[in-house]
Amino acid sequence: MNILLLEDDLILSSEISKFLEQKNTVCTKVYSGDQFVDQFKKDNYDVFLLDINVPNGNGLDICSMIRKEDVLVPILMISAYGELSDKMDAYNRYADDYLVKPFHFDELWMKINSLLRRTSKEEPSDVIRIEDLVINKPQRKVTRSGKEITLTLKEFQLLVFLAEAEGKIVSKQEITEQVWEHNFNTNTNTVEVYINFLRKKIDKDFSTKLIHTRSGFGYYMSSI
């Protein structure tokens, strides 16, 4: 297990690292926000442990940065801030759990293992990535270049159907069968209208277009 720890208290950081290494993990220590960003780019990590109040950065901002890159990696906040509002701020940044200082190291280990078990149960197909587009199916959340995109339920269902085709062209008939379940006449332009809705939200503000039309055949998603 590879863990990246952001903690500016040198003594506590050393104690946490020593404890985790006794559990046969690799724990890399950083002490500031800028050090974390540099180290984050150098390796792949299984868990992130983040203090909130650190030099040259903030653990909550770091949490948001991680989520733009990876929606699944477990993030555990460790902080002396124990008010409900503090925890809500962390969860609103998509942290997975929160541990208030001081804490027992055994509780830290318990939380880490709990997060790893939870993550291991998630199927890779629950999250779809195309270029810089990330579709989180369980959360019904869509982001592109880290920016969240708000979709209606039907827009989301259509996007997922196109994305799961993995570049294969899907016809208007296939879309009506799978997304609308024959709830309208295929001679109408409903599919075209919703494709345009998606293009405005997914592609309009980006140079790389992901939603494409093959005239006479249908639609597909590709970054090429």
One digit per residue, pLDDT tens: the chain, 224 residues? Answer: 899 999 999 999 999 999 999 988 999 999 999 999 999 988 889 899 999 999 998 999 999 989 887 767 899 999 999 899 889 989 888 898 999 999 999 999 999 988 887 766 554 568 888 888 999 888 889 999 888 999 998 999 999 999 999 899 999 989 998 888 765 555 678 899 999 999 999 999 888 899 999 999 999 998 76
Would you say the pTM of this structure is higher than 0.75? no
Predicted confidence at residue 182, as pLDDT, reads 62
Structural contact between residues 138 and 126, judged by C-beta atoms closer than 8 angstroms? yes
Predicted confidence at residue 150, as pLDDT, reads 93
What's the CA dihedral at 223, 40, 23, 95 to 10 degrees? -70
Structural contact between residues 176 and 182, judged by C-beta atoms closer than 8 angstroms? yes
Both tokens assigned to 51: 């203090």
Tell me phi and psi for residue 131, to 5 degrees: 55, -125
| H-helix or E-strand spanning residue 147 | strand 147-149
- Which residue, among 159, 172, 166, has the nearest Cα to 198 in the 3D structure? 159
The contacts of residue 39 (CB under 8 Å, 6+ apart) are 4, 28, 30
Predicted confidence at residue 194, as pLDDT, reads 94
